Amino acid sequence: MEFQGRLRHRRRWGVWLCGASCLFVSATNFAFRKKPKEPLEAPEEIPPVVVEVEHMIWSLLKEPQVLAALGIAVVLLLSWCRHRSVQASRRLRRPYQLTEDLSSLKDADLASLQKQLETAILWLQETVLLPIDRRLPGRPFEFDLAIFPCKPTVLMIGNHSSGKSTFINRMMGVQVQETGVAPTDDGFTILERSEEFEQFEDGPTITGCAENKAFRELQRFGRSFLGHCRRKKMVLPKDAELPYGLQLVDTPGMIDLLGAIGVTELALVF
């Protein structure tokens, strides 16, 4: 199988060689054009050595073999320059040098280091993975590249009164989600630990969040579904077990009785 990128590469080389040949022909015509005779001024004294060298060069240039050799040399030189430029453009360069001693960094420096890592990953995607993805049939990496950046997310799934919300409250160190025997929530709640301020977002805001591009795929389920989605960023106690940068998703509970009566599928109607 031959990818389209290789065909474009061959066409590019053909255009480049044709242009180099036309340039060589134009240069030879310009060099050997007939000049109109003009009244000559009094010639200056030229050293005999210069005259002999000039005469030898012009005599060599009149030979067709020498012209052909010069043309081939020019084409090879241009081809080599083109090859070096292509290699230089494809060579991977590190955009920066990361700090080696991470133990001496403060919190602000660690946040800056995380931004640098995200920039490096985006640079690798645009420089390495995207060109490969465009050449492969079916574009297998298109979806994976579209969801970056995205924070690590844990989806809590279980039956009613199985302890999903209780586990989340224990991880966060405060009573965030309602708990009880009866179903208490019919939506999806994304919970995250914040350092400075608390923030509550609805479904449409979540799908437009630049930090979590993976949530953009939820738009396909419509506005009714997004109306049952929300996100909570909360300032937690210092002894809370939920780490920074991790998201927990609390989901509606499932009914285990349906499996006993032979129901294998259940859909939530929004």
Write the pLDDT tens digit of every residue in 25-52: 656 655 555 555 555 554 566 667 766 7
Chain segment 120-134, per-residue pLDDT in tens = 777 788 888 888 888
Question: Would 128 be classed as within a structural domain?
Answer: yes
More confident call, 191 vs 16: 191
CA-wise closest residue to 233 among 154, 167, 157, 176: 176
- Closest CA relative to residue 146, chosen from 117, 126, 119: 126
The helix/strand count (H/E) of the chain reads as: 10, 5
Same domain, 197 and 139: no
In a domain? residue 68:
yes
Domain boundary (41, 75, 109) is at 75
CATH code, domain with 186: 3.40.50.300
Mean pLDDT of all residues in 179-185: 68
Do 138 and 175 lie in a common domain? no
Buried b (16+ CB within 10 A) or exposed e, 20-43: beeebeeeeeeeeeeeeeeeeeee
Angle between helices 4-31 and 64-90 (to 10 degrees): 140
Q: Is residue 82 part of a domain?
A: no
In a shared domain, residues 159 and 242: yes
Let me know whether 177 and 254 are in one domain: yes
- Check whether 263 has a pLDDT greater than 60: no
pLDDT of residue 230 exceeding 80, the answer is: yes
- Within 217-265, where are the H helices? 222-226, 257-260
pLDDT, position 32:
56
pLDDT value at residue 8: 46
Q: Are 167 and 247 within one domain?
A: yes
Whether residue 179 sits in one domain with residue 127: no
Q: Dihedrals φ, ψ of 218, to 5°?
A: -70, -15
Question: Are 250 and 209 in the same domain?
Answer: yes
What is the percentage of the chain residues whose pLDDT exceeds 70? Answer: 62
pLDDT at residue 251 above 50?
yes
Which of 134, 149, 164 is the last residue in one of the domains?
149
pLDDT surpassing 80 at residue 258:
no
| pLDDT digit string, tens, across residues 66-122 | 677 777 888 888 888 888 877 776 665 555 555 555 566 666 566 677 777 777 777
pLDDT for the residue numbered 5: 39
What whole-number distance in Å separates Cα of residue 61 and Cα of residue 77? 19
Residue 6 CB coordination number (10 Å) = 10
Mean pLDDT of all residues belonging to the chain? 73
pLDDT of residue 7: 41
Sheet holding 229-235, edge to edge: 153-156, 247-250, 188-194, 229-235, 199-202
If asked whether residues 223 and 133 sit together in one domain, one would say no
Q: Which pLDDT band holds residue 56 (cuts at 50, 70, 90)?
A: confident
- Asked whether residue 81 is assigned to any structural domain, the reply reads no
Quote the tokens at residue 121: 């990953």
**Residue range of the domain that includes 12:** 7-30+64-75
Domain count, the chain: 3
Task: Kindly state the tokens that stand for 146.
Answer: 């579209």
Residue 193 to residue 172: CA distance in whole angstroms? 8
DSSP state of 129: I
Structure tokens at 47: 């050293």
- Is 269 in a helix, a strand, or coil? coil
Query: Do residue 244 and residue 181 come from a single domain?
Result: yes
In a domain, 56, yes or no: no
Lookup result for tokens 């360069």: 93
In a shared domain, residues 164 and 250? yes
Same domain flag for 145 and 234: no
For residues 157-165, average pLDDT: 83
Residue 100 located in a structural domain = no
Torsion on CA atoms 81, 87, 89, 90, rounded to nearest 10 = 160
Indicate if the pLDDT at residue 1 is higher than 70. Answer: no
The residue among 149, 166, 198 that closes a domain is 149
* Percent of the chain whose pLDDT exceeds 90: 1
For the full predicted model, state whether its pTM sits above 0.85.
no
List, in sequence order, the alpha helices (H) in 125-183: 130-135, 142-146, 164-172
In a domain, 201, yes or no: yes
State whether 248 and 218 are in the same domain: yes
Do the domain assignments include residue 136? yes
